[in-house]
Amino acid sequence: MIEFRNVKKDFSGRPVLRGFNLHVRKGETMCLVGTSGAGKSVTLKHMVRLLKASSGEILIDGEDIQPLEGKALSSMREKFGYLFQSAALLQWLTVYENVALPLRERTKLSDGEIDRKVRHVLDRVNMSHALGKLPADISGGMQKRAGLARAVVSEPDILLYDEPTSGLDPVTSRTIDTLIHDLQSDLGVTSVVVTHDMISALTISDRIAMLHQGTVLEVSPPREFLASQNEVVRDFLDSQCISRNFFEEFPERILK
């Protein structure tokens, strides 16, 4: 579904992706984890060609997206919903209008049809009470939920989430995890979730990819990831005080 083949990216001669290989399978939820600056957001941006690789191939549904231009590029991007690292809501539009925007821009749906879809997704993320509010007047967690609604409203095949729980308190973070999981199982989408938060990664992933110094160090399902012998992975888990017995200690965390 999404495949990076030996992708390299440098910014003004400074390498950020150094021979990056990754295969995200159709229908799975893959989390990308790694320390700040590891290249997680840069990786997501390559998937929708917001950034272009210096070399290597990036295949979406078997098609190399690097050379795409114009209409072909736009239609490739329509496969994606994207929740940016900052929720990136337009500050002068209400929650309702922010969520309606992708449908107004990308589709020829009638106002009635748009209204039905927007209300449905906002209900899905428990935001029905805030349709008319401006982003500045709602909390960070509500902004993330509105961003989530906007990412899914056009029913994309692939959802990209950049730090969906950053800056949120632990309780709200777990609500967002459950939402991501439920949306994935309802819609059957392929999801790539960038996160610092190992609890999120363990809870919602089919597989976790550890990024380190511009490469993919390890890709494994949560239980194998917890048992990894790789020193960088172990240090990363230890830095967040994640126990090797995480699932035995918190069985309610098992969503997958």
Ligand X SMILES: Nc1ncnc2c1ncn2[C@@H]1O[C@H](COP(=O)(O)OP(=O)(O)OP(=O)(O)O)[C@@H](O)[C@H]1O
Our CA dihedral for 75, 186, 165, 58, rounded to 10 degrees, sits at: -30
Q: Per-residue x/- mask for Mg ion, residues 21 to 40, rule CB under 5 A?
A: -------------------x
Shortest Cβ 37–ligand X spacing (Å): 4
What HEC string does the chain produce? CEEEEEEEEEECCEEEEEEEEEEECCCCEEEEECCCCCCHHHHHHHHCCCCCCCEEEEEECCEECCCCCHHHHHHHHCCEEEECCCCCCCCCCCHHHHHHHHHHHHCCCCHHHHHHHHHHHHHHCCCHHHCCCCHHHCCHHHHHHHHHHHHHCCCCCEEEEECCCCCCCHHHHHHHHHHHHHHHHHHCCEEEEECCCHHHHHHHCCEEEEEECCEEEEEECHHHHHCCCCHHHHHHHHHCCCCCCHHHHCHHHCCC
Give the nearer residue to Mg ion in terms of CB position, either 54 or 166.
Answer: 166
92 lies in the site for ligand X, by CB under 6 A: no
Range 190-219, binding ligand X (CB under 6 A): 196
| Number of residues forming the site for ligand X (CB under 6 A) | 11
Give the nearer residue to ligand X in terms of CB position, either 127 or 210.
Answer: 210
Give the nearer residue to ligand X in terms of CB position, either 16 or 149.
Answer: 16
41 lies in the site for Mg ion, by CB under 5 A: yes
Shortest Cβ 215–ligand X spacing (Å): 13
Burial 15-38 (b: 16+ CB within 10 A, else e): ebbeebebbbeeebbbbbbbeeeb
Give the nearer residue to ligand X in terms of CB position, either 42 or 146.
Answer: 42
Shortest Cβ 41–ligand X spacing (Å): 3
Give the nearer residue to Mg ion in terms of CB position, either 163 or 218.
Answer: 163
Structure tokens given for 173: 């973070």
Give the nearer residue to ligand X in terms of CB position, either 20 or 246.
Answer: 20
Q: Per-residue x/- mask for ligand X, residues 19 to 38, rule CB under 6 A?
A: ---------------x-xxx
42 lies in the site for ligand X, by CB under 6 A: yes
Binding ligand X (rule: CB under 6 A), the pick from 39, 102, 135, 141 is 39
13 lies in the site for ligand X, by CB under 6 A: no
Binding ligand X (rule: CB under 6 A), the pick from 2, 7, 16, 87 is 16
Q: Could you list the residues that contact Mg ion (CB under 5 A)?
A: 40-41
Interaction site with ligand X (CB under 6 A) = 11, 16, 34, 36-42, 196
